[in-house]
Structure 1
Amino acid sequence: MPDKTQIDIIVIDGGWHLDAGQQPTQCSDLVSIAQDIKHAIMESGLARELIGERNPSLREDVLVQIEQLAEQDVRLIPGTATVSEQSAGNIFLTADAYEFGTIEVTV
């Protein structure tokens, strides 16, 4: 089994996920990258902008911006990010990571 190269602490609902011993739970590789992408989208303000936008054309523009933001991550293969809106304000992003396969992120 190869060594884990991307290690992070799992964040759920804005807080650390703790194990039975009240220690932060770790995630690695694909889960870590997906979590970083999700946080980048939330911190950029684009998710909030999407919620406030009612014009379908401008909503599509925000989705493209989210796609472009995700593709700035050097761990992802350029041109593989795809964003769709599952329901109003609920977006789903998929992209391919160089070493780990496909990530799926719901924001």
Structure 2
Amino acid sequence: MTEPKYQDLLIINNDIALDSVGVPMGISDRASIAQDIKHMIRESGLLVELVGERQTDKWALNLSRLENLVESDTRIQPGTAKLTRLDKESVLVSAKTVEYQTIEFTL
């Protein structure tokens, strides 16, 4: 088995996830990239702007900005990021990584 290229601590509910004996849990490679992208999007503040926003053109503009942000990560293949509004409170993020397969998660 090969060594992971990307490693990180698993974050759940804004806190480090611990196993049954209290040791921090780790994630690697594809899961680590997905977690980094989630945090990058959250820290951008663009999602906060969408809360309560009713104008579809502003939603589309911010989703486009978020796609560009996702694609700014060098581990993501350019042109593959897609953000889709699922409902008033959910956005589906998908993108193809350079070294691994597709990542997909909901915000």
Tell me the TM-score normalised to structure 1 length.
Answer: 0.96
81-90 vs 25-34, which moves further: 81-90
Matches within 5 A, 1:29-40: 29-40=29-40
Match of 1:74 in 2: 74
- 2:58: which partner in 1? 58
Distance in 2, Cα, partners of 1:24 & 1:53: 38
1:97 aligns with: 97
Q: 4+ residue stretches of structure 1 with deviation over 4 A?
A: none
Task: Give the structure-2-normalised TM-score.
Answer: 0.96
C-alpha deviations, 1:12-45, integer Å up to 9, x for none? Answer: 1101111011111000000000000000000000
Asked if the contact 1:50/1:89 (under 8 Å) is kept, the reply is no
Hey, what does 1:17 align to over in structure 2? 17
Q: Separation in 2 of the partners of 1:12 and 1:99?
A: 25
* Pairs aligned (count): 107
8 Å CA contact 1:41, 1:69 repeated in 2:
yes
Percent identical? 39
Q: Kindly provide the CA deviation profile for residues 16-75 of structure 1, in whole angstroms up to 9, marking residues without a partner as x.
A: 111011111000000000000000000000111111321111111111111110000000
- The one-letter amino acid of 1:105's match is F
State the 1:2 CA deviation. Answer: 2.1
CA distance in 2, matches of 1:34, 1:43: 14
How far has the Cα of 1:86 moved from its partner? 1.0
SS in 1 for 2:93: strand
Which consecutive residues of structure 1, in runs of 5 or more, have no partner in the other structure? none
8 Å CA contact 1:93, 1:104 repeated in 2:
yes
Q: Work out whether 1:88 is the aligned partner of 2:88.
A: yes
The DSSP-based 3-state class of the residue aligned with 1:105 is strand
Measured on the aligned residues, the alpha-carbon RMSD in Å equals 0.9
